[in-house]
Amino acid sequence: MKQIHVDSIIEVVRNICQEANFYLGDDVQRALEESLKIEESPTGKTIIEQILENAEIARKHRVPMCQDTGAAVFFVELGQEAQVVGGDFTEAINEGVRQGYREGYLRKSMVNDPLMDRKNTQDNTPAIIHTRVVPGDKLKITFAPKGGGSENMSVVRMMKPADGVEGVRDFVVDWVKRSGGNPCPPIIVGVGIGGTFEKCAELAKISLLRELGRLNADPRFASLEKQLKEEINDLGIGPMGLGGRVTALAVHIETHPCHIASLPVAVNIQCHAARHKSVTL
């Protein structure tokens, strides 16, 4: 059995918390550069140029690209032949967040209680951790900080199987329309279809980790992704919602089998500050 010490988990988490917030991914960078060629609105162009310049400054000076450095969301794949030793796994992730957010001068945005006190925990913990046990002896940790602006523009709907492809399409497009400029377009639209109430929400979020430019492996869903992107960009919302051709850089769909009576659909919107970083131990 391979042993992984909590100290090494703390260290990598501390680092990826900072890296994800300082360095915009190459795929997002490329997609933004491409979008500049498509955008017709002068205001929209100015905005995309500012976003690209911003990424450059963040990278060069190691400062967060956005002040909202997010809730600390983690996706963990734990190999069934690996064993975490030396302490509590969840606490190790939280300690990594604590250290990373302090060291990187990242904003602490978590409150201890959602409704009554809403007191800032001062260290951005607790992290939100989704763990899956997988074959092998590796531990893969993905950090995907999520800002409030785009997370707030997310939704789950339990649709009827009879709503079909058209129903799902209309729901997603209408939802993006209603969100307008709030989630900081250009956005990436994560769509989870199937599973159960909580499963489709998780799928929508996981879909945002996919490299931009890659389509769903199933050609039917790939074509739905393309269609949705086109319809969303026809809305004219544009960069920051001030009008333009570029609203979505991509639409990602992930699916799961579901109950005969159900058609759960979730939309998780990701702003252009699409941050995620993985590391494998």
Partner 1 sequence: MSRKVRLNTPLKEEKVTSLRAGDEVLLNGTIYTGRDAAHQRLLDLLEKGKELPFDVKGQIIYYVGPSPAKPGTPIGSCGPTTSYRMDSYAPALMKIGLKGMIGKGPRGKEVVEAMKRYKAVYFAAVGGAAALIARSVKSSRIVAYENLGTEAIRELEVEDFPVIVANDVLGNDLYEEGIRKYSRRK
Residues near ligand SF4 (CB under 6 A) are: 66, 68, 147, 149-150, 183-184, 271, 273
Residue position matching structure tokens 């960078």: 29
CB of 154 to ligand SF4, least distance (A): 11
Q: Residues 106, 143: contact at Cβ < 8 Å?
A: no
232 binds, among partner 1, ligand SF4, none (CB under 5 to 8 A by kind): none
Q: In Å, how far from its chain's centre is CA 192?
A: 13
CB of 20 to partner 1, least distance (A): 14
* Residue 112 is a binding residue for partner 1 (CB under 8 A): no
CB of 106 to ligand SF4, least distance (A): 12
Residues in 173-212 that interact with partner 1 by CB under 8 A: 180-182, 184
Q: Which two tokens stand for residue 250?
A: 């991509």
* Residue 87 is a binding residue for partner 1 (CB under 8 A): no
Give the strand pairing for 187-195 and 248-258: parallel
Q: In Å, how far from its chain's centre is CA 255?
A: 17
User: CB-wise, 58 or 265, nearer to partner 1?
Assistant: 58
User: CB-wise, 15 or 109, nearer to ligand SF4?
Assistant: 109
Of 144, 193, 201, 237, the one binding partner 1 (CB under 8 A) is 237
> CA–CA separation, 229 vs 253, rounded Å?
11
* Residue 149 is a binding residue for partner 1 (CB under 8 A): yes
18 binds, among ligand SF4, partner 1, none (CB under 5 to 8 A by kind): none
* Residue 63 is a binding residue for partner 1 (CB under 8 A): yes
CB of 54 to partner 1, least distance (A): 4
Q: Residues 240, 248: contact at Cβ < 8 Å?
A: no
Query: Hey, how many other C-beta atoms are within 10 angstroms of the C-beta on 148?
Result: 12
Cβ-Cβ contacts under 8 Å for 104 (sequence gap 6 or more): 17, 18, 21, 22, 62, 64, 69
Q: Put the strands of the sheet holding 139-143 in their side by side order.
A: 128-134, 73-79, 139-143, 277-280
In the three-class reduction of DSSP (H, G, I as helix; E, B as strand; rest coil), residue 251 is classed as strand
* Residue 65 is a binding residue for partner 1 (CB under 8 A): yes
Stretch that binds partner 1, among 133-141, 196-204, 218-226, 270-278 (CB under 8 A): 270-278
Q: Which two tokens stand for residue 171?
A: 């729901």
* Residue 121 is a binding residue for partner 1 (CB under 8 A): no
* Residue 157 is a binding residue for partner 1 (CB under 8 A): no
> CA–CA separation, 258 vs 158, rounded Å?
12
> CA–CA separation, 76 vs 278, rounded Å?
9
Site residues, partner 1 (CB under 8 A): 40-43, 46-47, 50-51, 53-54, 57-58, 61, 63-69, 105-109, 120, 148-149, 152, 180-182, 184, 234-245, 271-273
